[in-house]
């Protein structure tokens, strides 16, 4: 595919920093490191194609600053990963590896390694993205009942597949005979299956993890298996790899060395997909698997550029304030920016909304696809009239609305409205929002609590509907609040108190 269109060199020996300046595109695998120093020498480079999923070997920031599109092949492993998950599921239910090992060792242990059927059992699927859906489809074909949880997938998507939709992960824990994990790894999901989660599960549950090792508290899982609370586990991934921990010593644990994506078809598919991405980038087409900001027209970028990070932060803020499970996202743009192609701002807001909440890397190209796959309605409106600001970006997630603008030559990002209140506060990495009855003493009480917890308030803004009505207080804070401060504030009688990290 590439040779039919371009002059292609294959080089396995030359130092990259010596040859990179010759090329418009480069295709790499995981062993090749494209550091900032190498990228700095890439004077002609327009696209980096990573023939695989992970992009840890590419300095994304350096590539983005140079306007180089980085594309990978995220769909290349979906089928392989789903099939491996089902393989682990069957192996776990029927003790196939243990029986195989015994027979190879000369022991005929037919009675010892009897198992259980999958038919009519309930499979809990945590994470209903591409891989989770493929696993669910195959499990349904095995006669299993499937119940799934994913806060970013509309209930209709579960029903269309024939699976039951759970409102919360706890509902899955209580229903599942078998549990499979397909969540993205974030601060919220790290150690997701731990002591508390296991305590909520059925006795005798069996757990499969071919997603991310750190989703599971391995020590807690080992204890639960030894106690009999968990009947067994099948694991392809671990918190540290190569893994040599205690789980390998438990006879009812099935383990593979991170093989989910290791099929000939997945590797071939990765090559084809990334070649298509390189062709699109060099021929001016749509790079559907770009993992950084795509190249845009110079005229639009000059005007819209400062509003891209603003829109992303407003998207994240609106989703957090709305509780993290959007069904509808509406964007509106007012002022001079409305005269440009604001779809770039819409996908920036979606990128912020989905970042860290879905299993695949989110970018400015695939964010609309992610929304469509999850049944989230996305709309956009533009008006060149702006009453209070030269330019204003508004994001509405379900019933929660936030708006913002940029100020000054540095394009500082300011919040202009939130939760039905007009408010003026610079957006910061850590923010806190309180809604409460407008009575004297609240500001002082909040300041005292934060001061006693040694958390500095960088900025504060207060707004109210009317005197004696409802009020909104928004804070920007310098450090992560300790857990006891969060608990204390939430027990102080506010309508709500939300701590939000915008990054």
d(CA 235, CA 437) in angstroms, rounded, equals 51
Residues 395, 397, 402, 408, CA torsion sign: negative
Active site residue 374: no
Choose, from 130, 165, 202, 212, the residue flagged as catalytic.
Answer: 212
End-to-end C-alpha distance for the chain, whole angstroms? 40
Per DSSP, helices labelled H in 36-129 are 36-40, 60-65, 78-94, 96-104
d(CA 427, CA 431) in angstroms, rounded, equals 8
d(CA 267, CA 53) in angstroms, rounded, equals 10
Half-sphere CA count of 435, side-chain side, radius 13 A: 11
**Rg of the chain over CA atoms, in angstroms?**
26
Give the max Cα distance, the chain. 84
Choose, from 258, 343, 382, 488, the residue flagged as catalytic.
Answer: 258
Choose, from 18, 117, 160, 241, the residue flagged as catalytic.
Answer: 241
Q: Are strands 496-501 and 430-437 parallel, antiparallel or unpaired?
A: antiparallel
Q: Are strands 496-501 and 69-71 parallel, antiparallel or unpaired?
A: unpaired
List the one residue out of 353, 311, 309, 345 whose CA is nearest residue 328. Answer: 353
Contact 152, 158 (CB under 8 A): no
For residues 177-196, b (16+ Cβ closer than 10 Å) or e, as one string? bbbbbbbbbeeebebbbbee
Per-residue DSSP letters for 362-414?
P-TTTHHHHHHHTT-EEEEEEES--SSSSEEEEEEETTEEEEEEEETTTTEEE
43 upstream amide cis, omega within 30 of 0: no
Active site residue 212: yes
Active site residue 241: yes
d(CA 462, CA 457) in angstroms, rounded, equals 13
Catalytic residues: 212, 241, 258
């Amino acid at each position: 595919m590439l040779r039919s269109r371009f002059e292609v060199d294959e080089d396995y020996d030359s130092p990259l920093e010596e040859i990179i300046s010759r090329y418009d595109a480069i295709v790499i695998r995981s062993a090749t490191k494209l550091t900032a120093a190498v990228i700095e020498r890439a004077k002609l480079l327009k696209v980096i194609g990573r023939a695989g999923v992970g992009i840890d070997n590419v300095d994304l920031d350096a590539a983005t600053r140079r306007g180089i599109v980085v594309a990978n092949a995220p769909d290349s492993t979906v089928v392989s990963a789903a099939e491996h998950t089902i393989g682990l599921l069957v192996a776990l239910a029927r003790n196939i590896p243990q029986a195989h090992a015994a027979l190879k060792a000369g022991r005929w242990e037919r009675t010892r390694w009897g198992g259980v059927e999958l038919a009519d059992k309930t499979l809990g699927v945590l994470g209903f993205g591409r891989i989770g859906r493929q696993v669910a489809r195959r499990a349904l074909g095995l006669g299993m009942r499937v119940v799934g949880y994913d806060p970013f997938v509309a209930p209709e998507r579960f029903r269309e597949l024939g699976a039951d939709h759970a409102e919360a992960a706890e509902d899955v824990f209580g229903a599942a005979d078998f549990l499979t994990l397909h969540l993205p790894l974030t601060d919220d999901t790290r150690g997701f299956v731990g002591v508390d989660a296991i305590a909520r599960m059925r006795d005798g549950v069996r757990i499969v993890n071919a997603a991310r090792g750190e989703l599971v508290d391995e020590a807690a899982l080992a204890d639960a298996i030894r106690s009999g609370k968990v009947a067994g586990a099948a694991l392809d991934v671990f918190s540290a790899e190569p893994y040599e921990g205690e789980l390998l010593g438990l006879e009812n644990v099935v383990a593979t060395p991170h093989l989910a994506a290791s099929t000939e078809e997945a590797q071939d598919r990765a090559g084809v997909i990334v070649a298509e991405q390189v062709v699109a980038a060099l021929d001016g087409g749509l790079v559907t698997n770009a993992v950084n900001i795509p190249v845009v027209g110079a005229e639009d970028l000059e005007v819209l550029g400062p509003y891209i990070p603003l829109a992303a932060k407003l998207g994240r803020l609106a989703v957090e304030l709305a509780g993290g499970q959007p069904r509808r996202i509406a964007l509106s743009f007012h002022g001079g920016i409305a005269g440009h192609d604001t779809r770039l701002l819409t996908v920036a807001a979606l990128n912020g909304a989905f970042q860290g909440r879905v299993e695949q890397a989110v970018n400015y190209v695939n964010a609309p696809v992610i929304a469509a796959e999850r049944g989230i309605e996305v709309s956009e409106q533009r008006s060149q009239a702006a009453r209070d600001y030269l330019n204003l970006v508004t994001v509405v997630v379900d019933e929660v609305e936030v708006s913002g603008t940029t100020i000054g030559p540095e394009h500082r990002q300011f919040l202009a409205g939130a939760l039905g209140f007009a408010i003026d506060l610079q957006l910061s990495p850590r923010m806190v929002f309180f809604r409460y009855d407008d009575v004297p003493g609240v500001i002082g009480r909040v300041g005292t609590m934060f001061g006693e917890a040694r958390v500095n308030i960088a900025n504060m803004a207060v707004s109210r509907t009317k005197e004696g009505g409802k009020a909104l207080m928004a804070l920007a804070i310098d450090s992560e609040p300790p857990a006891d401060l969060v608990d204390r504030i939430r027990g102080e009688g506010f309508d709500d108190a939300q701590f939000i990290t915008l990054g």
